[in-house]
Amino acid sequence: MNVVVCVKQIPDPAVPGELNPDHTLKREGKLILDESDSYGVEMALQLRDAAGEGEVILVSMVPNQEVSGLRQALAMGADRAILVSDDALHGADALTTAKVLARCVERAGAVDLVLAATESTDGYTGTVPAQIAELLGWPSLTFAKHVELADGKAQIQRQTEAGYDDVVAPLPAVVSVTAGVVEPRYPSFKGIMAAKNKPVDQVTTADLGLGPDDLAPRQRIVNVAAAPARQAGEKIEDDGTAHERIVAFLEELKVV
C-alpha cells in the first residue's frame, strides 16, 4: 500500500496573517505543517501499517527551501518526501498547485491512494484534491469523514449538506479528508531523530517537466482593503444576573 499525502507548510495560523506588497500571502520565516494535513498523514500511516507493506510519501511545494513542516510529518512516521521548491511558484494558484502535485504523484512511483485535506488553512481555495484527480484521470472521493479500504476499493462517508453519503471507488483514487477523521499522533523523540535522515527529494518545476506557460498566474489581486469592522458592543462580567441582561436584549430585538 503506497500512499501519497499532499501536505502544505504554512505560516503559523496563530500569528495574524500578512500580505506582501504584491498581495500574495507572506511566507517568510519558519513554516509549520498545516494542522489540516496531519489527519491525512495519520490516516496514511494507519493504512500502510494495516497493509503491512508499502510507503507513505509526502508531496509538497513551497516558494523557498523550507522543510520544517515536512520534518514534522516525517517525524510522525512518513517514509520520504518530494518537495517542489521553486521561485516560479510564487503566487501559484490552485490549479497550478494541482498540476505540480499531480506530477509529484507520478514521480512517487506506483501509488494506490492520494490523501489530502479538504482545503488548506491559509489559502482555503478547496479545489486542489479534485483537480489533482482530474489531472491524473482518477476518481476522487471528497470530504471524507470516515475512510475504509478493502478489495482494491476505497469507501468513504462523504459529508453532504444534509448528512453524509456512502461513496465507493476503485483504487487508485484521490481522497480528501476532513479534520477529525482520525486522531493524529504526536511525533515521538525517536521519530523526530529519524526524520532528520529521511530522504527529501528536492525538485524544481523544470524537473517535473513544467514550463513557465504551465505556471503563469491567470488571476490577479487588484485590491486589498480592511473589512468594515464590526463594533464590539456592551461587555459585562457575569455577577449572577447576566442572564437578565440577555433576556432584556432579546426583548429589545423583539425575538421573545
Contact between residue 92 and residue 211 where contact means Cβ atoms under 8 Å apart: no
Question: Using CB under 8 A, which residues numbered 128 to 147 contact another protein?
Answer: 128-135, 137-143, 145
Among 83, 173, 208, 215, binds another protein (CB under 8 A): 173
Q: Of the two residues 188 and 249, which places its CB atom closer to another protein in the complex? A: 249
Backbone angles phi, psi at 168, to 5 degrees: -130, 145
Contact between 20 and another protein per CB under 8 A:
no
Q: Smallest distance from the beta carbon of 141 to another protein, in angstroms? A: 6
Q: Smallest distance from the beta carbon of 21 to another protein, in angstroms? A: 14
Q: Smallest distance from the beta carbon of 196 to another protein, in angstroms? A: 31
Residue with cell string 475512510: 147
Question: Using CB under 8 A, which residues numbered 86 to 105 contact another protein?
Answer: 93-96, 98
Return the closest-CA partner of residue 48 out of 167, 149, 177.
149
Give the integer Cα–Cα distance in Å for 255 and 251: 6
Question: Using CB under 8 A, which residues numbered 176 to 205 contact another protein?
Answer: 178-180
Residues 201-240: x where in contact with another protein by CB under 8 A, - otherwise, as a string: ----------------xxxxxxxxxxx--x-xxxxxxx-x
Q: Of the two residues 172 and 187, which places its CB atom closer to another protein in the complex? A: 172
Per-residue exposure over 136-168, b if at least 16 CB sit within 10 Å of its own CB, e if not? bebbbbbbbeebebeeeebbbbbbeeeeeeebe
Return the closest-CA partner of residue 6 out of 64, 70, 68.
70
